[in-house]
């Protein structure tokens, strides 16, 4: 299809050739595949002379770096510095960590080292006040309730461990990202060096750089923070470059006219003008840091991620879900706070406004904090709720998951057998059958069709790395799983995304009634689950009589349903969908891998199902974004010329949204590649499994080479998709 469009698009004459070359390459690929039985082994699979000992080389290089150059002194010193920062952060949040990082004199004078953490009540109050001040009482309530949840559900200590790592990792990533971004913006050559490194850092799966981090920085929370920084910095760099580049020259000139030095122009003109982009970068950093919470615990970070893995290990799904909810709440809270901060404009007060009006929120906050401190004197629970006294809904979730599995197991078995035998196994064989030269030819054809010789060379070199690294067969299994997952994710995400962004049907029309019915059903289900959880929690505190329990359930149901109905009345489908995307994206993927195994057993169906859940998110998101971005004037024009809804969609909205949707597809591929590696925890035979093996063997080189294989596939798809989308956008005049 790509080929067809490219061919159709090419104007007669000059650009006629690329399509021909692409077709020729494709024909070569088909020919080679058909001739496979007659071909020599060296064409079917990478011959031995082609496979370079890259991982051995890398290992020797790292050995040399560590032992002969003494690089480990630097890395260990850096690790110690990060450790000191962590000590400092946890002295405020969780004083269970060893000692205090400050000299005794400082300790005694500022009361940092009393051995008491800041009471949870103060966090809740501060969250409420900051949220209200930055945006609205709704955000304030969200922040306050997040801390209440963490405290009341016994997650406090772990959450504070996680937060203390986030508190170190975020500023480090932001600072590093800003400095690198500013350098790249200033020096062309630096950007040219940095860009491929950024692409690599974002497409190498996190699991494969854990081992190098362990070797250079050791194990523990500092290692977790360093791995997190590697993962979280690239978006900050990108946003900094983007922001600084967008600063209009007028702003700079006016600064220079005032006689500002270069530093002053940077500090007072460039950075404030690029504020919005830089703050989006900060927001991205925060989200990336939280996405790493579970992964970082593989190399010794304590906190929510570590507990989550331990709970999953002993199959305590209910407890894991509670932790998952904690992570989502923290992520949503920090995401919203940082966005609100980015959007908040400075407030200007009229001259003569009294101090207490200008600082009303500060006064409210101080008052509440004093009240909270008094409360801690009255009762210990206002300071800390011990885990044993905390309430928990874990049995509720366990029972829920049990019911759901019992319900679904019979149909799931049918689906599994069908998919495995009729769909997946044939596709898998099909991916393994073609000679590797045929695959390269096909890849070159796609590259040529999209961007001519240059693109063809780029993608061929990337994919050839799979052959050269010696992991061709494993890579093809990864490719097959990702392809199936992406096709299914598009099949789900595209229609749902398009549906969600259709204009709202007018009130009273059949479509409107249908929407209302769906919405009410959804509200009813959610409130029933919520009410059951409320009753369950009450049961564990004071066992009520059945009659009381029944009426309690109904009351809770009515209250929750009313609340959701009121709150979501103005929420459009697309906004609701985006909310759902945010939740799924921050919910730790490890949790739903377990129920998926229980349904489908350990096999490719389970692994692909796990990948789809995660991979559909960007497809949905970008479809909604793309449809939103279609100029209303064009849709109106189509309407005026009498197009039906379907015609409008087919001939105007979809083609115009397609470039953005293609970016979504690209992101879906990237997400799926990351997730397919995590699916190794279910049990796969692809690169992910080998990365796990490299992790067990502490083999740095092998781990990195496998990571590069995944990155090579991701970068090739990325190249093709962005090229195509850019060309398309230009053609559409967007």
Partner 1 sequence: MTLTTRSIAAAAIAALTCSAPALAQESTDPIVIPTHNWSSQVVMSHVVGQIFEEMGYTVEYVSTDSQAVYEAVRLGDVTLELEVWEGAFGVAFSEALEKGGIVDAGDHNAVTREEWWYPLYVEEVCPGLPDYQALNACADKFATPETAPKGRFLGGPVDWLKHDQERVEALNMDFVVVNAGSAAALWAELAAAEKEGRPIVLFNWTPNFIEALYPGKFVEFPPYEEGCKDDPAVGPNKEMTYDCGNPANGYLKKAAWDGMEEKWPAAYAALTKISFTNAQIAEMAKLVDIDEMEPEDAAAEWLEANEDVWKPWIE
369 Cβ contact list (under 8 Å, min separation 6): 122, 125, 126
93 Cβ contact list (under 8 Å, min separation 6): 117, 118, 160, 161, 163, 164, 167
Between CA 718 and CA 734 the distance in angstroms is 20
SS3 sequence of 173-202:
HHHHHHHHHHHHHHCHHHHHHHHHHHHHHH
For 361, other C-beta atoms within 10 Å of its C-beta total: 14
* Nearest to partner 1 of 472, 590 (CB atom): 590
Q: How far is the CB of 103 from partner 1 (least distance, A)?
A: 6
Interface ranges with partner 1 (CB under 8 A): 97-99, 103-104, 211, 214-215, 218-221, 297-302, 306, 309-310, 312-316, 319, 387-388, 402, 405-406, 409, 417, 420-421, 425, 593-595, 597-599, 601-603, 679-685, 688-689, 692-693, 695-698
Tokens for 718?
Answer: 């990325």
* Nearest to partner 1 of 31, 421 (CB atom): 421
Can you list the positions of beta strands (E) in 298-403? none
* Nearest to partner 1 of 214, 280 (CB atom): 214
Residue 596 buriedness (CB in 10 A; 0-12 / 13-18 / 19+): buried
* Nearest to partner 1 of 253, 417 (CB atom): 417
* Nearest to partner 1 of 100, 133 (CB atom): 100
702 in Cβ contact with 626 (< 8 Å): no
Nearest to 326 by CA among 160, 211, 475: 160
SS3 40: coil
Q: How far is the CB of 138 from partner 1 (least distance, A)?
A: 35
* Nearest to partner 1 of 244, 613 (CB atom): 613
Dump the DSSP string for 536-570.
Answer: HHHHHHS---HHHHHHHHHHHHHHHHHHHHHHHTT
Between the two ends of the chain, the Cα-to-Cα distance in Å is 22
* Nearest to partner 1 of 372, 484 (CB atom): 484
* Nearest to partner 1 of 640, 696 (CB atom): 696
292 in Cβ contact with 231 (< 8 Å): yes
Task: Name residue, tokens 């909205």.
Answer: 653
* Nearest to partner 1 of 384, 549 (CB atom): 384
Q: How far is the CB of 315 from partner 1 (least distance, A)?
A: 5
Which parts of 379-418 fold into alpha helices (H)? 394-418
Q: Check residue 391 and report its DSSP letter.
A: -
Q: How far is the CB of 293 from partner 1 (least distance, A)?
A: 13
* Nearest to partner 1 of 603, 722 (CB atom): 603
Task: Name residue, tokens 């103060």.
Answer: 122
Dump the DSSP string for 76-112.
Answer: HHHHHHHHHHHHHHHHHH-TTSSS-SS-HHHHHHHTT
Q: How far is the CB of 388 from partner 1 (least distance, A)?
A: 7
Buried b (16+ CB within 10 A) or exposed e, 608-645: bbbbbbbbbbbbbbbbbbbbeebeeeebeebeeeebee
Tokens for 368?
Answer: 């509440």
569 in Cβ contact with 385 (< 8 Å): no
Between CA 376 and CA 116 the distance in angstroms is 12
Q: How far is the CB of 1 from partner 1 (least distance, A)?
A: 32
* Nearest to partner 1 of 236, 594 (CB atom): 594
Q: How far is the CB of 420 from partner 1 (least distance, A)?
A: 5
Nearest to 152 by CA among 327, 389, 395: 389
Tokens for 541?
Answer: 């505190």
Q: How far is the CB of 310 from partner 1 (least distance, A)?
A: 6
* Nearest to partner 1 of 132, 319 (CB atom): 319
The CA-CA-CA angle for residues 164, 168, 172, to 5°, reads 165
Q: How far is the CB of 108 from partner 1 (least distance, A)?
A: 12
* Nearest to partner 1 of 365, 681 (CB atom): 681
Nearest to 320 by CA among 81, 531, 589: 589
Q: How far is the CB of 96 from partner 1 (least distance, A)?
A: 10
Q: How far is the CB of 681 from partner 1 (least distance, A)?
A: 4
Q: Check residue 314 and report its DSSP letter.
A: T
Q: How far is the CB of 538 from partner 1 (least distance, A)?
A: 20
Between CA 342 and CA 379 the distance in angstroms is 38
* Nearest to partner 1 of 29, 599 (CB atom): 599
3-state helix, strand, coil in the chain (%, to 5): 85, 0, 15
* Nearest to partner 1 of 317, 657 (CB atom): 317
Q: How far is the CB of 535 from partner 1 (least distance, A)?
A: 21
The CA-CA-CA angle for residues 623, 419, 690, to 5°, reads 80
Length of the chain: 734
Distances (CA, A) of 494 to 106, 483, 609, 616: 58, 16, 17, 9
Q: How far is the CB of 482 from partner 1 (least distance, A)?
A: 17
Phi/psi at 571 (5° precision): -80, 125
Phi/psi at 517 (5° precision): -60, -45
Q: How far is the CB of 379 from partner 1 (least distance, A)?
A: 22
Q: How far is the CB of 300 from partner 1 (least distance, A)?
A: 4
Q: How far is the CB of 564 from partner 1 (least distance, A)?
A: 32
* Nearest to partner 1 of 663, 680 (CB atom): 680
230 in Cβ contact with 201 (< 8 Å): yes
* Nearest to partner 1 of 314, 345 (CB atom): 314
Nearest to 171 by CA among 213, 233, 118: 233
């Amino acid at each position: 299809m790509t080929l067809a469009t490219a061919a159709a698009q090419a104007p007669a004459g000059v650009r006629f050739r690329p399509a021909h070359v692409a077709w020729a390459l494709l024909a070569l690929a088909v020919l080679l595949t058909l001739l496979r039985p007659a071909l020599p082994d060296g064409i079917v699979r990478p011959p031995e002379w082609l496979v370079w000992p890259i991982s051995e080389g890398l290992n020797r290089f790292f050995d040399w770096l560590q032992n002969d150059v003494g690089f480990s002194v630097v890395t260990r010193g850096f690790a110690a510095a990060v450790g000191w920062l962590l000590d400092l952060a946890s002295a405020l949040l969780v004083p269970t960590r060893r000692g205090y990082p400050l000299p005794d004199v400082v300790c005694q004078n500022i009361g940092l080292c009393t051995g008491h953490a800041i009471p949870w009540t103060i966090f809740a109050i501060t969250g409420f006040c900051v949220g209200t001040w930055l945006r609205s009482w709704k955000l304030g309530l969200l922040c306050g309730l997040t801390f209440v949840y963490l405290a009341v559900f016994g997650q406090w200590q772990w959450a504070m461990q996680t937060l203390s790592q986030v508190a170190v990792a975020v500023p480090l990533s932001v600072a590093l990202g800003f400095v690198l971004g500013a350098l790249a913006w200033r020096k062309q050559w630096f950007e040219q060096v940095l860009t491929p490194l950024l692409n690599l850092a974002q497409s190498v799966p996190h699991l494969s750089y854990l081992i190098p981090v362990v070797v250079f920085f050791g194990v523990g929370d500092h290692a977790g923070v360093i791995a997190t920084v590697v993962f979280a910095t690239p978006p900050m760099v990108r946003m900094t470059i983007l922001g600084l580049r967008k600063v209009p020259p007028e702003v700079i000139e006016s600064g220079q006219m005032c006689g500002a030095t270069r530093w002053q122009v940077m500090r007072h003109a460039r950075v404030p003008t690029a504020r919005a982009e830089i703050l989006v970068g900060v927001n991205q950093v925060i989200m990336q840091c939280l996405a790493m919470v579970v992964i970082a615990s593989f190399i010794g970070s304590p906190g929510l991620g570590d507990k989550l893995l331990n709970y999953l290990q002993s199959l305590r799904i209910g407890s894991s879900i509670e932790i998952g909810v904690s992570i989502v709440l923290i992520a949503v809270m920090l995401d919203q706070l940082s966005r609100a901060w980015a959007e908040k404009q400075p407030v200007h007060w009229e001259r003569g406004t009294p101090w207490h009006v200008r600082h009303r929120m500060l006064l409210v906050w101080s008052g509440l904090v004093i009240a909270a401190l008094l409360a801690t004197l009255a009762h210990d629970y206002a300071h800390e709720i011990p885990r044993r006294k905390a309430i928990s809904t874990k049995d509720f979730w366990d029972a829920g998951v049990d019911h759901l599995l019992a319900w679904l197991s019979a149909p799931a078995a049918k689906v599994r057998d069908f998919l495995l035998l009729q769909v997946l196994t044939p596709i898998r064989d099909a991916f393994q059958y073609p000679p590797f030269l045929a695959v390269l030819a096909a890849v070159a054809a796609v590259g040529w069709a999209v961007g001519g010789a240059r693109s063809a060379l780029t993608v061929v070199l990337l994919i050839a790395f799979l052959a050269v690294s010696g992991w061709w067969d494993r890579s093809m299994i990864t490719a097959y799983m990702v392809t199936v997952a992406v096709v299914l994710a598009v099949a789900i995400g595209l229609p749902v995304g398009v549906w969600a962004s259709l204009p709202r049907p007018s009130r009273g029309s059949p479509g409107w009634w249908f929407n209302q019915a769906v919405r009410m059903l959804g509200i009813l289900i959610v409130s029933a689950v919520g009410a059951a959880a409320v009753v369950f929690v009450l049961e564990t505190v004071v066992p009520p009589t059945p009659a009381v329990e029944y009426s309690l359930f109904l009351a809770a149901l009515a209250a929750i349903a009313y609340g959701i109905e009121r709150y979501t009345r103005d929420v459009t489908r697309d906004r609701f969908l985006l909310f759902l995307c945010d939740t799924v994206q921050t919910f730790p993927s490890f949790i739903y891998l377990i129920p998926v195994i229980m349904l489908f057993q350990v096999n490719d169906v389970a692994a692909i199902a796990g990948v789809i859940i995660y991979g559909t998110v960007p497809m949905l998101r970008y479809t909604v974004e793309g449809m939103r971005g279609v100029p209303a004037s064009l849709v109106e024009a189509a309407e005026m010329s009498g197009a039906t809804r379907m015609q409008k969609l087919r001939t105007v909205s979809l083609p115009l949204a397609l470039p953005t949707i293609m970016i979504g597809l690209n992101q879906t591929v990237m997400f799926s590649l990351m997730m397919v590696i995590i699916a190794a925890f279910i049990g796969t035979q692809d690169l992910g499994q080998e990365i796990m093996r490299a992790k067990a063997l502490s083999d740095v080189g092998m781990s990195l080479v496998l990571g590069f294989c995944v990155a090579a596939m991701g970068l090739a798809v990325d190249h093709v998709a962005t090229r195509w989308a850019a060309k398309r956008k230009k053609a559409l005049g967007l």
